[in-house]
Structure 1
Amino acid sequence: MKFRIHHLAILSLSALLIAAGCGNNNASNSSTTTNASGAAEATALPESSKLNIKVSFYPIYEFTKNVAGDLADVEALIPAGIEPHDWEPTAQDMAEISDADMLIYNGAGMEGWVDQVLESVSGTPLITVEASKGLDIMEGTEEEEADHHHEEGEHAHEEGEHAHEEGEHAHEEGEHAHEEGEHAHEEHSHDHGGLDPHVWLNPTLAIQEVRNIEAALAAAAPEHAEDFKTNAEAYVAKLEQLDQEFKDGLKDTKRKDFITQHAAFGYLAKQYGLTQVPIAGLSPEQEPSAANMSKIVEFAKEHKVKTIFFETLVSSSVADTIAKEIGAKAAVLNPIEGLTEEDRSQNLDYLGIMRQNLEALKSALNE
C-alpha cells in the first residue's frame, strides 16, 4: 500500500483525471492529527492491501509488529547492529518513508532526525505516530546533575585542579569551544535535548507505547480494529508478566545501586526502586571526564561494587577501565536499541533480552 507523496506537488491535470476515473483509493487519505493519548487519528486507508509501516528502530519495530500481526508490512529504518543515536536517514530512506502509509517512532528526543522528516511530509497523507506521546518523560540531564554533579560540578573540579596551568586552561577553553561547536552540529543526530527517551526499558511504559500504536493502527484501518486489539492484548499480557518478574526478582536484592556506562536505565531503576549510577550521559558516545571517572571509581570502591555494566553496539572500554581499576568484572546490561548478530543468531527478542537484563541485575545486586 504505497502512496508516492513526494510527487504530489506536481500532479498534472491528466493525472488528476486518471485518478478520478480509477476510483477513490487515495481520496480516503488525509493529513494526520493526534489525539490526547498520542495515537494518530486519520481517515481510514483502503482495504485493498496491507498497511505499509516504517518504524524508527528495534523496540518500536517489536511493539508495532506484535500489534499489527499479518495485517501490515512493518520495516525498521535503522538496520540491525547500528547504534540508533547516530543514524540519519539517507535520500532513499526519505523516499521510502514518503511511500509508506505510516511512520511510527519513539519520540522524546530519541530520533534527532524526525523533525526533518515531519517537516518534509507536512500536508501529505503520511500518518505519523509518536509512540511515547503522553508518557511521563524524565529530564535526564537534570537527574544526572543532581546525582553525580555532571557538567557544572565536573567543570568546577577541573578548574580547581588546573587553575595554575594557564596554558592548559587556554587549550581546554579552545577544546571546549570546539566541543560546543561539535555538540551543536551533532544535536540533530543524537542529542536528546535533556530528555531521557529510554521509556521502552520500563515494561509498564512499554505497555503504554503498545496502546498508542494500537490506537493509531485502528484509526488507520478500522476494519481491523478488533484484530489489532486482540494482538495488543496478547502482547500486553506478556509485558505485564515481564513487569511482575522484575518486581519479584529485584524487590529483595542486597543492594539497590548499579553502575552503567550509559545513562539508559533511569526508567527501569525508578520503576523497581533501584539507583542508576551512570559513568557518562544519555548519549552512548559521550566520554566521561577524568574527574567523573575518579568519582565513579571512588563510589565503586566505597560501595564494594563488583560489576560494571556496559552495553551492546558501543565500545566497552570505559567500563573495562573502571572494572580493572577496582578489581571488578564488566558485564552487559542491554538498552535494546538494536539487535546484534549474536542476538539474532539466538532468536532473541525484546522479551528475551529484558529477561537477560533481569538476570544480570539480580546477579550484580546480590554480590
Structure 2
Amino acid sequence: MNVRRLIPATAAAGAVTLGLVTLSACSTSSAADGKSSDGRLKVVASFYPMQYLAEQIGGDHVTVSTLTRPGVEPHDLELGPRQTAELNEAGYIVYLKGVQPAVDKAIAQSEAKNKVDAATLTKLEHHGTEGGHSHEGEEAGHDEHEGEAGSDPHIWLDPVKYAEVAKGVGTSLEKADPDHAADYKKNTDALLTKLNGLNSAYQQGLKTAATKTFITTHSAFGYLAERYGLDQEGIAGIDPESEPSPARIKQLQTIAKKDKVTTVFFETLASDKTAKTLAEDTGLKTDVLDPLEGITDKSRGRDYLQVMESNLAALQKALGAK
C-alpha cells in the first residue's frame, strides 16, 4: 500500500524537477541570447545620451534599460547587483568610455557579446578644463572623469559628433540583430535627419551673437563651443563637482567684463551655489545650460532634441543673438 502511494509521488516529484530544469534552461537560454521574453533585443545603455540613441534607432525591436536613473549624476554612479546582472543578460550594450569609471569596469567584465563604446565612433578631442585653459590644482580633481588620455567625453553636445555616433550605433545594431537590419537603417536615417536639422538651427541661431563668450559651471560644452565658434569659460572643470580656485573666480570676473558676458550658466544635476555667487559678485544673470546627462522633471524638454533646443534659446538670449 505504501509502495503504491510512493510511486506516483516519486513520479510527480520527478516531473516537477524536470519542469524546473526545463524552465531554468529556457531562462538561461533567454539570458544567453540577449533577448527578452517577447523576442526583442535587450539593450543596456550607460546613461541618457546613449539611451536616447538606442531608443530612437532600436524602435520596436529593442527593450532599453539605462544604468543611470533619472536625476542621478552619472559621473559618480556605482553599480549594484541588479545592474551587473542586466549587463550580463544584455544582447547589446552601448556606453561612452571615460564618463563613468565604475560602468567602464563592469562592462569590461560583462559576458554580453555586443558592446559598443561610443567614444570609438567619433574623434575625441582635448579641451582645457576651463575654456581652453588649465589651472593649477584643479586638473587632478577630474582626470578620472575624462575620456581616454584626458580627452573630453561630452561628444553628445555637438549634434554633428552625436550624428557620427548615431550612425555607428545603427551599423552595430544591424550586425547584432540582422533580422531587423532594414528597420535599424531606416530609424538611423530618420535620427540623422533630426540631428542635421538641429545643427542647422544652432548655426543659424548663433550666427549673429553679439558676444561669443559664455560662462558655465560645468565645462561640458567644449565641442559645442568649437562647432559654433563660441568661447566656453568654465567655473570648474569637466567634473561638475570640482571647486574653482579664488584665482579662477577673479579671472572670470575680468573675462565677464571684457567680453560683455551677461549670464552665468548652471545645470540641473549639480549645485548652482558657485554660479549664483559669481553672478551676484559680477552683477550677472543666471540661467540653465543643460549638459543632458539625464532627463528629470526639471529638464527643459522631454528628450534630447527638446533640451538641446532649450539650450540654444538660452545661448541666444545670453549672447545677444537675433
| TM-score normalised by structure 2 residue count | 0.84
Highest relative contact order (Cα 8 Å, sep 6+), 1 or 2?
1
Is residue 304 of structure 2 the alignment partner of residue 360 of structure 1?
A: no
| Partners of 2:87 and 2:107 within 8 A in 1 | no
Partner Cα distance (2:280, 2:116) in 1: 44
Of the three residues 64, 87, 107, the one matched with 1:118 is 107
> Relative to structure 1, is the Cα distance of residues 327 and 145 closer, same or farther in structure 2, using a 3 angstrom cutoff?
closer
Of the three residues 209, 231, 234, the one matched with 1:278 is 234
User: Which runs of no fewer than 5 residues in structure 2 stay unpaired?
Assistant: 1-17
Paired position in structure 1 for 2:90: 100
Of the three residues 120, 125, 136, the one matched with 1:133 is 120
| Partners of 2:264 and 2:285 within 8 A in 1 | yes
Residue 48 of structure 1, CA deviation: 6.9
Is residue 215 of structure 2 the alignment partner of residue 259 of structure 1?
A: yes
Of the three residues 126, 135, 160, the one matched with 1:150 is 135
Give CA-to-partner distance per residue, 1:81-126, whole Å, 9 cap, x none. 111011121122111211211111022x1121233213422xx343
Of the three residues 241, 249, 255, the one matched with 2:205 is 249
Paired position in structure 2 for 1:349: 303
| TM-score normalised by structure 1 residue count | 0.74
Partner amino acid, structure 2, of 1:74: V
| Partners of 1:145 and 1:151 within 8 A in 2 | no
| Partners of 2:211 and 2:259 within 8 A in 1 | no
Give CA-to-partner distance per residue, 1:27-75, whole Å, 9 cap, x none. x96xxxxxxxxxxxxxx98997000111011111111100000100001
Give CA-to-partner distance per residue, 1:129-188, whole Å, 9 cap, x none. 112314121123xx2378434127x89xxxxxxxxxxxxxxxxxxxxxxxx7xx5xx876
- 1:132 partner SS: helix
User: Which runs of no fewer than 5 residues in structure 1 stay unpaired?
Assistant: 1-13, 30-43, 156-179
Deviates more, 1:127-136 or 1:58-67: 127-136
> Relative to structure 1, is the Cα distance of residues 145 and 342 closer, same or farther in structure 2, using a 3 angstrom cutoff?
closer
Identity %: 37
Partner amino acid, structure 1, of 2:314: A
Partner Cα distance (1:358, 1:145) in 2: 21
Partner amino acid, structure 1, of 2:45: V
- 1:138 partner SS: coil
Partner Cα distance (1:337, 1:321) in 2: 24
Paired position in structure 1 for 2:159: 203
- 2:232 partner SS: strand
Partner Cα distance (1:347, 1:301) in 2: 32
- 2:269 partner SS: coil
Is residue 42 of structure 2 the alignment partner of residue 52 of structure 1?
A: yes
Q: Which runs of 4+ in 1 moved over 6 A?
A: 44-48
- 2:198 partner SS: helix
Give the aligned length: 299
- 1:331 partner SS: strand
Partner Cα distance (2:156, 2:195) in 1: 11
Paired position in structure 2 for 1:333: 289
Partner Cα distance (1:187, 1:366) in 2: 34
